[in-house]
Amino acid sequence: MYDYVKAVHIIFVVCYMAGLFYSVRLFIYHTEAQEKPEPDRKILSDQFTIMERKLWNIITIPSMILTVAAGITMLIMRPIWLHFGWMHLKLTFVVVLGVYHHMCQNKIKQMANGVFKWTSTQLRLWNELATLLLFAIVFLVVLKSALNWIFGVVGLVALAMILMIAVKIYKRYRRKKQ
């Protein structure tokens, strides 16, 4: 039975992360739509508000709930996992992901009310935080050993640097294209 619960957990992690990634992508488009002249700005903003709300409420939140439910079920079925340091670190990253989720939910509310505090570049960098959390969690679960954590942390730092450079290169490319 444990493997079935684990399969459900993995499936809904994929759905949840897709919801987070696409939500922030919509935030970027929504923010960039504010640079358009009227009536385009209003039409696009209204559409992005609908898309953000539906994605969040129909895919992202239910996927998060099912991910957490399956994760808790696995821990109930195998409480021994709670005795390992890698699991403590994984659960810490999961809590950070929960904070990320909450901040995205606040962004949805702000944008629906016409408040745009972050630039599209800041949102692109924000999107990469979810990528880093996903990498950290998956590597912790798969590798589990302390020595591999060191390589994992070095890899995460390298990945973060690569992602930041990629965002900056893309920003320059977009500016030249305009």
In whole angstroms, what is the distance from residue 43 CA to residue 94 CA?
36
The answer to the question of whether 177 is labelled as a binding residue is no
The answer to the question of whether 30 is labelled as a binding residue is no
In whole angstroms, what is the distance from residue 39 CA to residue 41 CA?
6
**30 contacts 52 by C-beta, under 8 angstroms:** yes
Please give the annotated binding residues, written as ranges: 9, 90
Please give the annotated binding residues for heme, written as ranges: 9, 90
